[in-house]
Each structure stands twice: as structure tokens, then as C-alpha cells.
Amino acid sequence: MKPLRVALLGCGTVGSEVVRLLHEQAADLTARIGAPLELAGVAVRRLDRTREHVAPELLTTDAMGLVTREDVDIVVEVIGGIEPARSLLLAAMKSGKSVVTANKALLAEDGETIFGAAREYGADLYYEAAVAGAIPLLRPLRESLVGDHVKRVIGIVNGTTNYILDRMDSCGASFSDALEEAQELGYAEADPTADVEGFDAAAKAAILAQLAFHTPVSAADVHREGITEVSAADVAGAKAMDSVVKLLAICERVPDPEGRNNGGRGVSVRVYPAMIPRSHPLASVREAYNAVFVEAESAGSLMFYGAGAGGAPTASAVLGDLVAVARNRVGGTRGPVEVTYAELPVLPMGETITRYYIQLDVADRSGVLAQIAELFARHDVSIQAVRQEGYGEDAQLVIVTHRAPDAALAATVEGLRRLDIVREVSSVMRVEADEIA
């Protein structure tokens, strides 16, 4: 059988692992595909390094030349970033190649262009590695649940921030100490912005929402808050509520007030640190692991768990896609095409329904609670539980609200800050579960 020729774009942590697996698993891959895979070329930035299992003559700095070469069947892109990745993938699809990419930034920022090109040119486009590493998550959403009605996707999709929050929870560490430790262990990069400010999670949330709701969502549509403001006091406050703080990516349908079954008013896509009870399955996701909950009308609650990053797990996802597109080429078929027929609006954060946990330093005098309760009532926010801790100068109030529009909750917090009797609003955290009180 004629070999299928693979062009690899990028040969860093993931790329070199892909090369190693292509080499070591060659016999198995051939048997599973029905034809051998052959490396046609590897595009790198600089030629001055030798790469294991790559003949020097396969290396090139001319990525565009490589992806349009006639003897290339499949293009695997693990460069990341928007350009030149976008131009390379578009050129590859235009010239009839099948494409495997791990590029979450590109798919989240400009998925419509990439998906549109796949439709236009009839090209296979697979991207399992773009979200949650080796955890098979996109394929289940794209294919297994395609006959169901997904209501909600909620998950931990960034390992770096989960490691930091886990350390803050288990050792009482501050954010900066936990970040430093994560950097020493290689879980966080020297410039951790993309992780700790939630950009990485927001890109993944955009891709998940798009697949779950068949509606175009880009990274810019995602409400995003990072974890840099999460304090040891926030984590301790959560602990006192038998809860943990996790950076959550949440994609959900907002039901229509008239209760129509499908579509609803729109979708809400957001990333922020939130409190969840320790009994929630996501609470037990430790260290740099990822896990995603999917709630669908018929399937019920499903959870997917595994390593969300790293060279080997990401390469496993890339290889799975590579076998899929290779099999499709051998069989003369192609994989599923993204359909974003639903065109649901992405609602602004202010209209999203959430719950708040609020901790206040207050003057301990009579009438304080009445004044605070009156403020909540004015914003139409109902209090689920209130607890006073300490006395006199140290008096603290902990308030957990019922569900309300985020804008009303935020306005209530603003109002609290302006009250004379409130010395400080010491912690504000969203709550993502009904059980916390």
C-alpha cells in the first residue's frame, strides 16, 4: 500500500513526541490505518539542531513550501499561535491536504475561518489535542452526543491554575508562593499570564461551547477572570464552607423564560474562579489534572478526566487524529464537519445567573444586618445564608446569595463597598453549585 506522507509543522515538546511515536509505533499504526505513515518533512524555525528520528534533509524552514508540496497528504500543525499557523492551515486545506492541529488559540480566535475553509475545500480537520490534551472530549461532543441536547459543560481545563489552587488549598500557600512552586516544577511558564489570567481556559471554553451548542463562539465572547486576585483568605473562606476554589470554564444554555425546549435565550460562556462544594466530583481533581462535566438532556451527567497537557498526552491526541484522517484518506471518506446552524447569541456576563459568596468586615453594632439586608433587597438579590464570625472590631459577615443576574450581584457588592458600616469587602467569589449554603 502506498504510504501516506505527513508534513509536521513544529518540532517542540509535542512535535518531537509525535515524531517519536510515528517511529516507535510504526507497525501498529500501519496495521490500524491500512497504509504506512511516512514523514515528508518537518518545518522548524532554525536548522541548527539535529532532531532524533528525523533525517536532516527532512528539516526545512520553508513551512509554506512544505504544506503545499504535492507529495504531502496530511499536515500536522503543532506550532500554536495565530500566524503563521492560520495561513499554513488554510493553504494546506486549499491544496487538498487533511489537517490535524492542536492549536486552541487559532480555533478559539478565528475558528469560523478555519472551519469555513474545511467546509469549502472538503478537507478533513481534526483538533482533539486543542482542548484538554489526551482526554477524548471533542470527539464525544462532536460525535457521541450529537444526537443529544447538551445543557451545560463545566470543567477544569487548565492544569497550571489547578495546580496553583490545589496548593493554596492543601498548604494554605499564597498565590505568589504557589505560582513560584509551579514554575519551579515546570507546571507554569516563566511568563504565566496566559494561564493565570484565564486566557488559555477561555480559548478552550470557546471551542467547547461552539461544539456543545452548534453556535459560533470566539475567545472574545468569553467572559474571563483569572486567579491572580484569589487570596489565601478566599481559599480559607471556601474551606470554612467545606468548599474549594477552582478555575472553572462554564458553557451553558440560558433557558428561555417561556421554557421552550431548544435553543433558549442564548448561551453563557465564562471562565472564573468559583467555589464548589468538596463533594462535587470536580473538587477532587488534584494537581495539574483536567476534568470536564457534560450535562445532556438524555445522557445525563458525564465526566471526562485525565492529563490535560504535556508532550506525551497531547501527542497521543494528535496521533489519534492522525490515524483518523489517514483512515479517511485510505477509505476515500472524510470526518464530520462542524455545523454552527444554531446561531445562538452569547449573553453578556451581567445577564448570566450566578450566586455570590461575600465576606465583609463590618462594624458590630445594632442595625448593621438590617441595613445590609435592605441593600440586597433593593437590588432584588435574595440572601440564602448569613453568618457572623468574631465580635466587635473583628466582626465579619459571611453572606451567600441565592441565584441572581450577575449584574445585580455586582451592583450589590458595589453598594456594600459604599456603606459606612462596611469596613472592607474582604472576599467576593462566585458559587457554582446549589448545595453550598
Helix axis angle, 199-213 to 104-121, nearest 10°: 30
C-alpha–C-alpha distance, residues 235 and 241, integer Å: 10
User: Which residues lie closer than 8 Å to 416 by C-beta, 6 or more apart?
Assistant: 358, 360, 372, 375, 422, 425
Question: Shortest distance, CB of residue 227 to its own copies, whole angstroms?
Answer: 24
Question: Shortest distance, CB of residue 146 to its own copies, whole angstroms?
Answer: 4
C-alpha–C-alpha distance, residues 100 and 323, integer Å: 10
Task: Give the residue numbers of the binding site.
Answer: 9-16, 104, 189
Task: Give the residue numbers of the binding site for NADP(+).
Answer: 9-16
Ramachandran sector of residue 53 (left: φ over 0; alpha: ψ -120 to 50; beta: rest): left
In the complex with its own copies, which residue's Cβ is closer, 100 or 404? 100
Task: Give the residue numbers of the binding site for NADPH.
Answer: 104
Given CA atoms 104, 108, 109, 110 in this order, what sign does their dihedral have? positive
Cell 516507535 belongs to residue: 24
Task: Give the residue numbers of the binding site for L-homoserine.
Answer: 189
Q: Residue 318 in contact with residue 324, Cβ under 8 Å?
A: no
Residues belonging to the active site: 204
Does the N-terminal peptide bond of residue 84 adopt cis geometry, omega within 30 degrees of 0?
A: yes
Question: Shortest distance, CB of residue 261 to its own copies, whole angstroms?
Answer: 7
Residue ranges that bind its own copies, judged by CB under 8 A = 17, 21, 24-25, 27-29, 31-32, 34, 128, 133-136, 139-140, 143-149, 214, 261-262, 281, 284, 296-307, 310, 312-313, 315-324, 327-328, 331-334, 336-337, 339, 341-342
In the complex with its own copies, which residue's Cβ is closer, 131 or 178? 131
Question: Shortest distance, CB of residue 388 to its own copies, whole angstroms?
Answer: 35
Given CA atoms 401, 406, 410, 412 in this order, what sign does their dihedral have? negative
Question: Shortest distance, CB of residue 229 to its own copies, whole angstroms?
Answer: 31
Q: Name the DSSP letter for residue 179.
A: H
In the complex with its own copies, which residue's Cβ is closer, 189 or 297? 297
DSSP-derived 3-state class of residue 341? coil
C-alpha–C-alpha distance, residues 186 and 191, integer Å: 12
Question: Shortest distance, CB of residue 171 to its own copies, whole angstroms?
Answer: 19
120-136 core/surface letters (b: 16 or more CB in 10 A; e: else): ebebbbbbbbbbbbbbe
In the complex with its own copies, which residue's Cβ is closer, 75 or 368? 75
In the complex with its own copies, which residue's Cβ is closer, 24 or 189? 24
In the complex with its own copies, which residue's Cβ is closer, 21 or 203? 21
C-alpha–C-alpha distance, residues 50 and 42, integer Å: 12
